[in-house]
Amino acid sequence: MSDPTRFPEDFLWGAATSAYQVEGSPLADGAGPSIWHRFAHSPGLTAGGETGDVACDHYRRWAEDVALMADLGLNAYRFSLSWSRILPDGRGRVNQAGLDFYSRLVDALLAKNIKPVVTLYHWDLPAGLDDRGGWLNPDISDWFADYARVAFRKLGDRVSMWATLNEPWVVVDGGYLHGALAPGHRNLFEAPRVAHHLLVSHGTAVQAYRAEGPSGRGKIGIVLNIEPKHPATQDPKDQQAVRRADAYMNRQYLEPVLGRPYPAELQEIYGPAWDESFQNEIPRIAQPIDFLGINYYTRGLTRDDPAALPVRTSPVKVPGAVYTETGWEVYPKGLTETLLWVKERAGALPLYVTENGAAFPDPPHLADGRLDDAPRVDYYRGHLRAALEARRQGVDLRGYFAWSLLDNFEWSLGYAKRFGIVHVDFSTQRRTLKASARLYRDVIKSRGGVLAG
Ligand code: BGC
């Protein structure tokens, strides 16, 4: 019987990043532009016009960053591949130099006993594919599978854990419905179509992996961001609002991946933009997967709001609660709730928390060079306890990844919002461990023992 007050010996302790947010040098060595390169270089679309041109310069400083991970005691690192580094036009010609970059990174991780966990798509679609309609073009599931095969063949002998997509909900809601993220569209009729094409692409990549032979013998899954939706009041209208918000953000993605129909609420939400024939393609989406990655940041206290189209819900602030700099309520209990909720639907599928973390304004460095990010320390303490509690209640949770290893390019919010457990001085690229990184190191070393009390 394992000790319920400790995480198990084989637990994965990781931190996560994504290519465009940390790498910099987006066009180096033959890489092609992505939609994020274009978006960030368009006037007025990111805070202060900031771009990922330099970011954390991880493309050149990866060795230093791997040493940092080893120093923290991480045994896993979740990162994403830049599709347009590998296939500059998104399809066809392969850029060997791009593949070699990831191959070197994987070798360096393995040399330090850090397991590479690779995400194929973290929002940076090759611009050449966007020119052909991007996620709106049904051919994208073939393009994605072709790209995935190139990655599996180069790295699959050493990478044994893959995620197809990171947070398809954000791609759709931010990229195609509200336009705050690349490619910046605002179109109700595109949103459900893009969601469907993302999910079908997930399915084709899983199929491609299974067909690979020796380089496809590891584990493959998908990363979804799940946010428990709670009613603002007991008013039945708010209860109905919760049902819609949950269908839109959570069940729209989770259910088809697990082989169940799209939620009935999508018809109500998208109206004439919903195409019921998507239901016929669930079998293409629902390929058997080996794990589910869950990104958890906050809950959504929700009220009915007929004016807020298309879901007709609005978020509500909780008086007295602590909020992060991105306006998200700090609600650790929601992580336990989320993992239990997913377990109820996904049965025995192993789960990983593939992202969890918070942006807070960091105080200046102390005289001895340390940086005491007390609110982030509290955040991690609370959420790691909540993860342990989920295990105690029977969730097969096998790993946890802090978001993020480094302060980085927070998409349209630029560099001001810092999510790192490691501070990055963007003028010198100097890295400094924050107190949250030191706490995390102690949690890892004690397998959660320091969380007690
Ligand atoms: C994304 C990250 C992002 C983080 C904080 C997640 O939605 O996967 O790329 O930086 O949240 O906003």
Point out the ligand 1 atom lying closest to the alpha carbon of residue 326.
12
Q: CB of 43 within 8 A of CB of 73?
A: no
Point out the ligand 1 atom lying closest to the alpha carbon of residue 18.
9
Q: What is the pLDDT of residue 386?
A: 98
Domain holding 374: CATH number? 3.20.20.80
Q: What is the pLDDT of residue 396?
A: 98
Unique residue bearing structure tokens 């025995």: 348
Q: Are strands 430-433 and 422-425 parallel, antiparallel or unpaired?
A: antiparallel
Q: Would residue 221 count as lying in a domain?
A: yes
Cα of 299 vs its chain's centroid, Å: 16
Q: Would residue 323 count as lying in a domain?
A: yes
Q: Would residue 1 count as lying in a domain?
A: no
pLDDT tens figures, 156-192: 999 999 999 999 999 999 999 999 999 999 999 999 9
Residue of 403, 409, 418 with the most ligand 1 atoms within 8 Å of its CB, for mutation: 403
Alpha carbon distances (Å) from 146 to 127, 129, 280, 328, 447: 17, 13, 24, 37, 40
Q: Would residue 314 count as lying in a domain?
A: yes
Output the CA 453–ligand 1 centroid distance in Å.
31
Q: Would residue 353 count as lying in a domain?
A: yes
Q: Whose alpha carbon is nearest atom 9 of ligand 1?
A: 18
Q: Print pLDDT tens along the chain (453 aa).
A: 578 899 999 999 999 999 999 999 999 999 999 999 999 999 999 999 999 999 999 999 999 999 999 999 999 999 999 999 999 999 999 999 999 999 999 999 999 999 999 999 999 999 999 999 999 999 999 999 999 999 999 999 999 999 999 999 999 999 999 999 999 999 999 999 999 999 999 999 999 999 999 888 999 999 999 999 999 999 999 999 999 999 999 999 999 999 999 999 999 999 999 999 999 999 999 999 999 999 999 999 999 999 999 999 999 999 999 999 999 999 999 999 999 999 999 999 999 999 999 999 999 999 888 999 999 999 999 999 999 999 999 999 999 999 999 999 999 999 999 999 999 999 999 999 999 999 999 999 999 999 997
Q: What is the pLDDT of residue 216?
A: 87
Q: Would residue 6 count as lying in a domain?
A: no
Domain range for 17: 12-451
Q: Would residue 216 count as lying in a domain?
A: yes
- Residue 355 CB–ligand 1 contact under 6 Å: yes
Number of compact structural domains in the chain: 1
Q: Would residue 4 count as lying in a domain?
A: no
Q: What is the pLDDT of residue 1?
A: 53
